[in-house]
Structure 1
Amino acid sequence: MPLTAESATQQIEERLKELRRLIHQIEDDRRRSENDINNIIRGQQANLAPPKLKALYKSGLQDAIQEEASTRTALEKIQEIRNIRNERRIQARDAGNKEAIRRGAHMKMVQISAQTLPLFVSKPGEKVPPLCGAIPADSSYIAKVGDNVAALVKSVDEEENWILAEVVQFLTRQNKYDVIDIDEEQKDRHVLSKRNIIPLPLMRANPETDGHALFSKGTMVLALYPRTTCFYNAIVHKLPETAKDDYEVLFEDSSYSDGYAEPLPVAQRYVITYRPTKKGSNGGSGSVSSA
């Protein structure tokens, strides 16, 4: 059933109310955890008996678990709000209500989308799921309507390029995607085989807990060239060190003696598994000098 503007507003308001409550709860949890840490430090300095010190550790652990649970619940509420807004945006697009956005503002939205991508922080022993960081989607995975993907399309001169696109629908019988170029100046529609689509990550990997879910230094990848909507061949030069950091990549560029340009930052969302085109081994148009 389509989500009306009224029901969307009501659902968002309900989640914002719950989010406000959770934020206050997280702050209370944080204060308790801070107090626990101070008590443990004082207990160690006073050489408390092991049973008493153990009790302090147990209390601190329980409060830390509660703080983590509250934080994860708050993040879930934020994601629910994003999903509701995205559903309304898709409905407006399908209804033909398209808002004109200047290219500069649109590029800013692409950047914000990467910065606000949910961060996956694994629990002890938890496996990093597909579409988190460098972990690819399962072979049977079907990207959802509204998801961003890298799409291999042909230009008028038959040259193949990887572009940033949005899923309009998946045509089950044809086993093909119907996608739209997110470039506001293009907005071209393409019907493409699954093999010409690469789903983008749905979560960022946390370098501090799940560094193995990032591409290794020296790995050949496809990366979105800054301030464009095209992916090009690149080599990972430096990995993110914190959740807020981007990769640094070296884009192929024939104007440089070694064939690669100076390092540029690219967000996790837009660094994906390398896949050669039919014409040679170039991603996008190959050299970024054409970007």
Structure 2
Amino acid sequence: MPKGGKHVGKIASKGTSSLSIPGPPSSKPPDVTPSVASVLDELKSVIKQTQEEKEVGEQTLTGINKTHEKVKNEPRVSLYFKQKLQNQYVNALQAAKRELVLLEQCLKKVDEVKVEIGEVQARAAPPSTRNIDDYRSKMHSGLGTMRRGMLMTVLQQYAVEQQVWKGKPGESPPPLCGCVPADEKYRCKPADQVAARVRTEDGEEQWILAEVFSYNSHNHRYCVDDIDEEGHNEQRRYHVSKRRIVPLPRFKADPLTNPEALFRHRQLVLALYPQTTCFYRAIIDSPPKEVAGEYSVLFEDTSYPEGYSPALDVPQRYVLPMRETKKK
């Protein structure tokens, strides 16, 4: 990683372990939105079902133990007790599977609450820092050192507000969901944010965060604008070929329901270096564990003995498939 780049209730599971799931509050706080309250009500309902299923499972396990007590001193287990034990074990296994499904639903609802709260907080931010257009207007109003900080806030809010893909059971994540690449014929639209490999003013090739201005279908080249205008009187515009563009994902992947749509441990990626608008080669240290979580990545950096920087967190939105390009 170059140092001088362009931009500086408690529910017990079967067995001895237990899982603690926080229940919803007894009364709705005044700042809880209707959408959050709705998810909390659903969570309360699922927790109740889980508790009921847990009790059914415990009763079945008690029955199994009693049956074993009855036959432990018998020289030979009768066909009746064999069949009874078999049915009890089948029922216990089915109850455990149902409880597991309900526990997974509980965890999913907790993640939904986190996402909803994050979106509410993002929408509550001052309007002047909520989108790129407002940021640009501030850029030209003489705010000086506030420029980069405002842009970083906007980019982080985009990551927080990114939609989470919710598919039907068994449905595969679509292109541009998490790590799933775009279709070969996919065409980025104007105003889409992308990673673009451009030649900077000092002649260096670099992956930057850019916004699509237009696409020429005759020569298959994009016209893109550098997202970061700091230090320049005019916006920097580049013309690049399609193979030098990597679109940002449209959806976040849910690690609980679609872990296959996340980059794997040690996988090579392009990742946005924190507090900059440049992408660099990196490897995945660990993928997010929950929908509101971030990737932990190691950036390539020859100044470290291992060849990689310490682990840094990067949102799903800004971790992309690695694309090698030939230098002109």
Q: TM-score range by the shorter chain?
A: 0.5 to 0.7
What runs of 5+ residues in structure 2 fail to find an aligned partner?
1-32, 61-90, 140-145
Residue by residue over 1:224-276, the C-alpha shift from the partner in whole angstroms, topping out at 9 and shown as x without a partner, is 11111001111111121111221111111111223212111111111111122
Taking the aligned partners of 2:296 and 2:45, their CA distance within structure 1 comes to: 39
From 181, 184, 195, give the equivalent of 1:136.
181
The root-mean-square deviation of aligned C-alpha atoms, in Å, is: 3.9
Deviations 1:32-76 (A, max 9, x none): 4455455555666788xx9xxx9xx9xxx9xx9xx99xx8xx98x
Distance 1:206 1:25 in 2: 20
SS in 1 for 2:203: coil
Matching of residues 241-252 of structure 1 within 5 Å: 241-252=289-300
* TM-score (ref. length: structure 2): 0.61
Moved >4 Å (runs of 4+): 20-47
Change (3 A) 1:25 1:245: closer
1:162 aligns with 2:207: yes
Q: Distance in 1 between matches of 2:215 and 2:36?
A: 38
Code of the residue aligned with 1:207 in structure 2: it is P
How far did residue 175 of structure 1 move?
Answer: 2.2
Which residue does 1:264 correspond to in 2? 312
Task: Tell me, yes or no, if the aligned pair for 2:194 and 2:212 is still in contact at 8 Å.
Answer: yes
1:62-93 C-alpha deviation (Å, 9 max, x unpaired): xx9xx99xx8xx98xx8xxx9xx9xxx78x68
The structure whose Rg is larger is 2
State the partner residue of 1:274. 322
Counterpart of 2:147?
Answer: 102
Q: Once the 2 structures are TM-superposed, how far is the Cα of residue 200 of structure 1 from its aligned partner?
A: 0.7
2:72 — aligned with what?
none
Residue 237 of structure 2 corresponds to 189
Structure 1 residues 115 and 27, CA gap change in structure 2 (3 angstroms): closer
Give the aligned residue type for 1:99: K
Look up the SS of the partner of 2:222 in the other structure. Answer: strand
Structure 1, gaps ≥5 residues long: 1-19, 281-291
Secondary structure of 2:296's aligned partner: strand
Q: 1:38 to 1:239 in 2, by over 3 A?
A: closer
Residue deviations 1:108-165, cap 9 Å, x none? Answer: 2112211221122433201011111111000111122222100010013332110001
SS of structure 2 residue aligned to 1:99: helix
Confirm or deny: 8 A CA contact 1:177 1:192 kept in the other structure: yes
Calculate percent identity across the aligned residue pairs.
41
SS in 1 for 2:137: coil
Measured at CA, do residues 27 and 250 of structure 1 come closer, stay the same or move farther in structure 2, by a change above 3 Å?
closer
